[in-house]
Amino acid sequence: MSESGPEMSLVCLTDFQALAREHLSKSTRDYIEGGADDSVTRDDNVSAFKRIRLRPRYLRDVSEVDTRTTIQGEKISAPIGIAPTGFHCLVWPDGEMSTARAAQAAGVCYITSTVASCSLEDIVTAAPTGLRWFQFYVHPDRQLSKQLVHRVESLGFKALVITVDTPVCGNRRYDVQNQLRRNLTLKDLQSPKKGNSLPYFQMASISTSFCWNDLSWLQSITRLPIILKGILTREDAELAVKHNVQGIIVSNHGGRQLDEVLASIDALIEVVAAVKGKVEVYLDGGVRTGNDVLKALALGAKCVFLGRPILWGLTCKGEHGVKEVLNILTNEFHTSMALTGCRSVAEINRHLIQFSRL
């Protein structure tokens, strides 16, 4: 898409945002950028990071800085991954296949969405050696859910990410105005016997009754680690540990579900305190710079995941754009580590930050 004019220099994630906005139709732009209600939480996700200040340590040997880490025992090149977002074909012809290739090349985890616009088989074929988790909306039809889980397992996905903050869809005004959902189809929530895609509105049959006690059913049908995405409180974090899940993604769905909840980085603090190191905690929402990554890790996140910035990169340059977004953020994070005196992610800790009085 960037061939339409002289290519501007893209040096940070917000540069990709500005260029992506120029390329996208109004309805697609609104779908990606939109938040719920007044978008208070969407905006606070970004601004909350700026209320945190860094406390750098100097006179340390930072001639070698290592950004590598692990999540669920799997090695990744940096604590930065791709959050689940749907319908990548809206912004680039190869959609999620391009996203998967970029993640594989970068050596990071790609959480594939239930509402991907490419089939899981095509995504896996595009990036066979990449680390993949699968984001899962539990369907009211347990047999359908079970078939999808087994398909995901057989395709080599390494974890199931259960989105918990969507028993019903948030009030996204732009999508209603644009009537966007009528035009979207999805490839994976369908009976294997029928090749036809279901219209997106039928996907609205996400289970509204799935609750804590149902997790044991899910654990009985899969050996994959189960990670809960959307936990925002100490109480739910404690219940997650009690129900033997393997990880938590602190997330407010990019501010697209319930507006006026805590920014992800603010909610991270109580969730990390609640789990007491028993499960890995991750974060998505509002990460735009290397400093943001450092701050999330200092507050106890093992890894952060990017949502909208990946779609901006994909819009601008497809696979290469996603690679660039990941590369820019990793390089910024590397610099942030060096400038705070951290030679490895293990050295990033709470003493590196303080909360601003601004």
The response to whether 199 counts as a known ligand-binding position is: no
Query: For residue 226, what pLDDT is reported?
Result: 98
Round to whole Å and give the CA distance between 79 and 117.
26
User: To 5 degrees, how large is the angle CA 145–CA 166–CA 110?
Assistant: 70
Q: Is 325 annotated as a binding residue?
A: no
Question: How crowded is the C-beta side of 75, counted as CA atoms within 13 Å?
Answer: 6
Q: What are the structure tokens assigned to 260, written together?
A: 């006026």
**At 354, which helix (H) or strand (E)?**
strand 353-355
Q: Is 85 annotated as ligand-binding?
A: yes
* Residue-level pLDDT at 174: 78
Which residues in the chain show pLDDT less than 50?
1-6, 182, 189-204
Q: CA distances (Å), 124 to each of 52, 98, 134, 279, in order?
A: 39, 11, 11, 28
Terminal C-alpha separation, the chain: 40
Query: Is 84 known to sit in a ligand binding site?
Result: yes
Residue entry with tokens 């305190």: 273
pLDDT tens digits for 217-226?
999 999 999 9
> Collapsing DSSP states into helix, strand and coil, what is residue 72?
coil
Residue 229 labelled as part of a binding site: yes
Pairing of β 198-199 and β 226-231: unpaired
Q: Are strands 69-71 and 74-76 parallel, antiparallel or unpaired?
A: antiparallel
Residue 176: predicted pLDDT? 72
Phi, psi (rounded to 5 degrees) for 75: -75, 135
Distance CA 107, CA 137 (A): 26
Residue 31 counted as an annotated binding residue? yes
* pLDDT at position 180: 58
Residue type, 56: P
Give 108's DSSP letter: -
CA dihedral of 95, 101, 104, 106, whole degrees rounded to 10? -90
Tell me how far CA of residue 241 lies from CA of 68, 177, 275, 307, in angstroms.
26, 40, 7, 26
Q: Are 24 and 91 in contact (CB under 8 A)?
A: yes
Q: What predicted TM-score, i.e. pTM, was given to this entire model?
A: 0.93
Active site residue 253: yes
**H or E segment and range at residue 151:** helix 142-154
- Sign of the four-CA dihedral 54, 302, 66, 305: negative
**Annotated active-site residue in 253, 320, 334, 351:** 253
